[in-house]
Amino acid sequence: MAEAVDYSIFLARDAEGRAEVSLAVDGVDCAACISDIENGVKSLPGVVHARLNYSTHRLTVAWSGEGAPADVVQRLESLGYRAHPFSGRVEEEEARRARWLLRCMGVAGFAAMNVMLLSVSVWSGNVTDITPETRDFFHWLSALIALPAAAYAGQPFFQSALRAVRTRKLNMDVPISLGVILALGMSVVETALHKEHAYFDSAVMLLFFLLAGRYLDHEARRRTRAVAGNIAALRGEMAHRLGPDGVPVLVPVQALGAGDMILVAAGERVGADGEVVSGASAVDEALITGETLPRLVGPGARVYAGSLNGSGVLTLRVTAGGEGTLIDDVQRLLDGALSARGAYVRLADRVARLYAPVVHLTALCSAIFWLVLGASVHDAVMIAVAVLIITCPCALALAVPVVQVVATGRLFRAGLLVNAGDMLERLAPVDTVVFDKTGTLTLPDAVLRLPRDADPRLLALAARLALSSRHPLATALARSAQGAAFAEVEERTGAGVVTRLPEGEARLGSLDFCEAQMPADLPADCSLIAFRLGDARLVIGIAQQVRSDARAVVDALKARGIAVRILSGDRPEAVAPVAARLGIADYEGGLRPADKIAALEKLKAAGHRVCMVGDGLNDAPALAAADVSLSPASGAAVTQAQADAVFIGQRLAPVLAALDGARTAGRLMRQNLALAICYNLIAVPLAVAGYVTPLVAALAMSGSSILVTLNALRAGTSAAGPAPATTVEEVRA
Amino acid sequence: MTVLLYLVPIALALGLIGLFAFLWSLKSGQYEDLDGAAFRVLSDDDLPSAPRAPAKREPQP
């Protein structure tokens, strides 16, 4: 890139005050890449640190003086890697949380091992010849290890439980926290009273198991998010910002702010919402409204981020830039749809709502029961606490997250990046899948449609002429060009391009510009471009290409008893042929975002569980309104932020894989919950009867945890649906 | 039971050494890039070999 690029928005200061930048790097796939990249970047002037993270494909570069990210991008490009800087503040936050969870887990693991060492000695001593003094000594030692360790490692649960209680809700962390605190408290009292039984080992082992589950869950989500972040960053959306001196400088769109002037060249994507100050052009808003026919704009017209500029050059005044880029009414609809969906309660929390009161009531009842039978207050309280410890939902709290981790990993390999934690639970009961057409069922890139009597010589010339135009339709045509572009091509703004050939004047552009007639045998869903050479004319249709496996996926969905519909913003006559080709009977076209929401609400009111698959900005509110939503990685950034999962690649297969994976996961989650409840049905009567010793508690707890974990692992191997075909590597290639 | 007087401290000390080793490895970023570590062990960047020009890499098809 010969142009000046200003990446300064991505520069940050590290702990030592050095300028630092993080880049997403594409094409890292071998061991040699690491040293190539690091050595290549380190040899740049001023660079003091360059480290490539092979797992996340991120490069961190630090400079001693002023940073120059553009040099790094250029150097990587010359080495054969595409790279783009990005700001990872959110991810930095998540990485810190991951480290914290791991630290808690380490502490809990240390405590669990050492307390267990002491506990096993006590248990074996209790049936042989341990002296009460030695036992007390071991119990006090256990308390010394367990209390500080639990205070530290239990924080993730205590904090979450406190938050839940403050908002007057119940989640799984409330019974967990209560169980741990009671177990520890009672054990200290028992030790002080020189009794036989203490539950220090149960409390810390519980924390260790749960932290392991929670860390894995967090890591799985972080990994998919890193890949999604890389895809978004590598798209590298840039805009020409006009400096005070009128010279355009290429800046990342994140750097744009309201009031900036930007220059949009022909064929470029608009980087921010804005108002046209000068220039005239036709903009393709397929990504925003789904409409495939370009809209004419002139001074004073509003243009939205993500639309594709046609043949004219536009100067825009930015009205909303960077992250705030969004059409007002889309934002309004989005807010409404989001507040409507907030009602979903996760499966684990629903179980917790029932579970916690039942358990606490059982504990209370058993204490009263023993008091009535004439037991001492101490023994009654002991039994009540034993009930609480044995029901402390270790297996229950692992039942859902472990399935989620395994299933998310499997979907990741199938090309699906899961965004929302509860996406699998919401996807499992879906019975209706609604597709958007443009960019979802069809590919973002178009293909040519020719009339029957098309002259191949004319087509070849038209394609070469198209190389000189930046109009999107011409770009699609230019892809079939063989040979170089013509010299001396003149561009007529808003009409087309003209050149002189030995055979006469050659024109490429709109039908009027070439004085051509619409041929009868082109399909109705095409956009048209005409070529004229002398008196010979050729009209070429540019049509969208349906994803290669769309028909197979639609058929497979139907075979699973799922209704398939199309809701599109495009003209109905453009939707009809696609629907016919895919065998979808229910389709609607010409829908505005609000109409899409209304259509979804109608489906939901009829009792259907709806999954929406869409890519455009106009789909964002609909995605939020649906029960669950998917979006292709080629879609608008705002849309992806709303989607519960993003799929990568040219194929639609990940949608099917997601559904199958979610159904398997849903089944396993229920199985796991049933297992956990079965365990309680056996363990609680034992506890109420007073038979639960610390040894029994430890065995029951670890046994049930291991059982649900093993069951969850089946989510990764069960072979439902077709084998995952699109890998992340394939997409990059 | 005097054996406990030194066995218990030894057991605790061993556990604590393990814990601190883990916390240190976590702090020094050894869990940040688990896949990269497997490749880095193969690179000879610690040998005083002749400076090698960064290999031109064929772009992916």
In 3D space, the residue among A48, A195, A178 whose CA is nearest the CA of residue A132 turns out to be A195
Mean pLDDT of A595-603: 87
What's the token pair of residue A520?
Answer: 């009868």
| DSSP result, A367-428 | HHHHHHTT--HHHHHHHHHHHHHHHS-HHHHHHHHHHHHHHHHHHHHTTEEE-STTHHHHHT
Check residue A470 and give its pLDDT: 65
User: What CA–CA distance (Å, rounded) separates A39 from A106?
Assistant: 35
Token pair 């990587």 is found at: A76
Helices marked H in A80-170 — which ranges? 89-127, 132-153, 155-166
Residue B59 at interface with chain A, using a CB cutoff of 8 Å: yes
For the cut 70, the answer to whether the pLDDT of residue A374 exceeds it is yes
Mean pLDDT of A576-605: 85
The model's pLDDT over A289-317, given as tens digits with 9 standing for 90+, comes to 666 667 788 888 888 777 778 767 888 88
For the cut 60, the answer to whether the pLDDT of residue A727 exceeds it is no
Mean pLDDT of A222-250: 77
Nearest Cα of chain A lies from the Cα of B54 at a distance, in angstroms, of 5
User: What CA–CA distance (Å, rounded) separates A733 from A722?
Assistant: 22
Whether residue A724 contacts residue A414, with contact meaning beta carbons closer than 8 Å, is answered with yes
For the cut 90, the answer to whether the pLDDT of residue B20 exceeds it is yes
Mean pLDDT of A136-144: 93
Find the residue in A nearest to B29 (Cα): A99
Mean pLDDT of A466-472: 72
CATH top class, domain A444-546: alpha beta
User: What CA–CA distance (Å, rounded) separates A422 from A407?
Assistant: 12
User: What CA–CA distance (Å, rounded) separates A713 from A724?
Assistant: 18
Q: How far is CA A77 from CA A41, A203, A250, A730, in A?
A: 11, 54, 17, 20
Contacts of A79 in chain B (CB under 8 A): 54, 56-57
The CATH number given to A1-87 is 3.30.70.100
| pLDDT-based confidence at residue A103 (cuts at 50, 70, 90) | very high
Check residue B49 and give its pLDDT: 54
Token pair 């010394």 is found at: A144
User: What CA–CA distance (Å, rounded) separates A248 from A275?
Assistant: 18
Has A436 been annotated as catalytic?
Answer: yes
User: What CA–CA distance (Å, rounded) separates A96 from A100?
Assistant: 6
> What is the DSSP-derived secondary structure letter of residue A322?
G
Angle at A173 between CA A170 and CA A174, to 5 degrees: 55
The CATH number given to A416-443+547-661 is 3.40.50.1000
Mean pLDDT of A194-206: 88
Contacts of B8 in chain A (CB under 8 A): 141
Is the Cβ pair A27, B1 closer than 8 Å? no
What's the token pair of residue A315?
Answer: 């100067």
Token pair 């989500």 is found at: A221
Check residue A341 and give its pLDDT: 52
Check residue A292 and give its pLDDT: 63
For chain B, state the CA radius of gyration: 22
User: β-pairing, A308-309 with A261-264?
Assistant: unpaired
Mean pLDDT of A117-121: 90
Lowest mean pLDDT across A1-5, A100-104, A135-139, B8-12: A1-5
The model's pLDDT over A37-66, given as tens digits with 9 standing for 90+, comes to 888 888 888 888 888 888 888 888 888 877
Give the start-to-end residue ranges of the domains of chain A: 1-87, 416-443+547-661, 444-546
Mean pLDDT of A206-217: 86
Check residue B17 and give its pLDDT: 94
Token pair 């709806």 is found at: A610
Residue A379 at interface with chain B, using a CB cutoff of 8 Å: no
The model's pLDDT over A489-543, given as tens digits with 9 standing for 90+, comes to 777 766 778 888 887 888 888 777 787 777 767 766 677 788 888 878 888 887 7
> What is the DSSP-derived secondary structure letter of residue A255?
G
Residue B29 at interface with chain A, using a CB cutoff of 8 Å: no
